[in-house]
Structure 1
Amino acid sequence: MSEPTTTTPADFDDLLAANEHFAETFDLAGFDGVAHAGIAIVTCMDSRIAPLAMLGLHPGDAKIFRNPGGRVTPQALEAIVLAVHLLNVNRVLVVPHTRCAVASNTEEELQRRVGESAGVDASWHDFNVVTDQQAALEHDVHVLRSHPLIGERALIGGFMYDVDTGRISRQA
């Protein structure tokens, strides 16, 4: 394996400059950390998804958990339990999306592609591909609805986000 890449101070200058500009008009100070609209969203890390905007929400309205495929992983489940009990969440949306890489590639394809990009064998790494998005979504919604710390305390819905139209549709 190769050594980790080291960074120079200038490697992030563009982002730090953008943050300076952001901070000049920053108006989100003083938020209390709860979800003021009572919403939590589990969705994919895909940058084509703007979770707050797609639902007409604003900063402070919702808790958002993102991961490849928008799955209810153990980490997402942990976040939802905390959100339901401590952060004012009473509705949870699970929102995978169309044209998702983890739903349109096989495990072997992703391992090969990552391996080629990395220049090292990635066949040992599990990317948790989704072979049936509808079945996976129904499973994730069931996991949340049947969880003893979530099920009776929050409404759970499964939706699909269309990256080409910006629309979500109820699926479960």
Structure 2
Amino acid sequence: MSFDLAGFDGVAAAGVALVTCMDSRIDPLRMVGLRPGDAKIFRNPGGRVTPQALEALVLGVHLLNVRRILVVPHTRCAMASATEAEVRRRVGESAGVDASWQRFGVVPDQEDALHQDVAAVRTHPLIGDRATVGGFVYDVDTGLLRRVV
């Protein structure tokens, strides 16, 4: 058995970082026409720029050749189609325990959240103008990206 991804040095060969959702309908590299080794990818529910995502982006910019950052939530996202209370109730029912204390970070207004997330990256003191930042929405039904920010 051979492993054809051996030998990568860990830098983003195409200089790209993506923050996107954990949704299994998304193939982050294919979504933007890249290959393994081209980009750094950070995934979480809703594709939000969390403190952990910012940490990854700072490392990418300073240590891993990242020069372009794409923030990409998607259509029909579960995190953008329910309230925090609804998600807590559903998780609690599934778990059989109270989940009312757990924060899930639902997104009441996806485009507003995307504007906020892009601004958070652009204004971060360790990123700023060191990388070009854009916000897009990926359509899980057509495979197309729509630029928002």
Q: Does 1:54 align with 2:14?
A: no
Q: Secondary structure at the match of 1:43?
A: strand
Q: Residue type of the partner of 1:143?
A: A
Q: Residue type of the partner of 1:95?
A: V
- Alpha-carbon distance in structure 2 between the residues aligned to 1:129 and 1:28: 35
Q: Residue type of the partner of 1:120?
A: V
Q: Residue type of the partner of 1:171?
A: V
Q: 1:75 aligns with which of 48, 52, 61?
A: 52
Counterpart mapping for 1:50-129 below 5 A: 50-129=27-106
Gapped regions of structure 1 (runs ≥ 5): 1-23
Partner of 1:161: 138
- Alpha-carbon distance in structure 2 between the residues aligned to 1:26 and 1:54: 23
1:100-147 per-residue CA deviation (whole Å, 9 max, x = no partner) reads: 111100001000110111111111111111100010000000011111
Q: 2:20 aligns with which of 31, 43, 57?
A: 43
1:70-94 per-residue CA deviation (whole Å, 9 max, x = no partner) reads: 0000000000000000000000000
Counting matched residue pairs gives 149
Query: Could you tell me how far 1:151 is from its partner in structure 2?
Result: 1.3
Q: After the TM superposition, which segments of 4 or more aligned residues of structure 1 sit over 3 Å from their partners?
A: none
Partner of 1:17: none
Q: Secondary structure at the match of 1:92?
A: strand
Please say which structure displays the higher CA radius of gyration. 1
Query: Could you tell me how far 1:25 is from its partner in structure 2?
Result: 3.3
Q: Residue type of the partner of 1:44?
A: C
- Alpha-carbon distance in structure 1 between the residues aligned to 2:125 and 2:84: 32
After TM superposition, the score normalised by the length of structure 2 is 0.98
Identity fraction in percent: 74
Q: Residue type of the partner of 2:40?
A: K
- Alpha-carbon distance in structure 2 between the residues aligned to 1:156 and 1:122: 35
After TM superposition, the score normalised by the length of structure 1 is 0.85
Between Structure 1 and Structure 2, which shows a larger proportion of helix residues? 1
Gapped regions of structure 2 (runs ≥ 5): none
Considering only aligned residues, what root-mean-square deviation do their CA atoms show, in Å?
Answer: 0.6
Query: Could you tell me how far 1:149 is from its partner in structure 2?
Result: 0.9
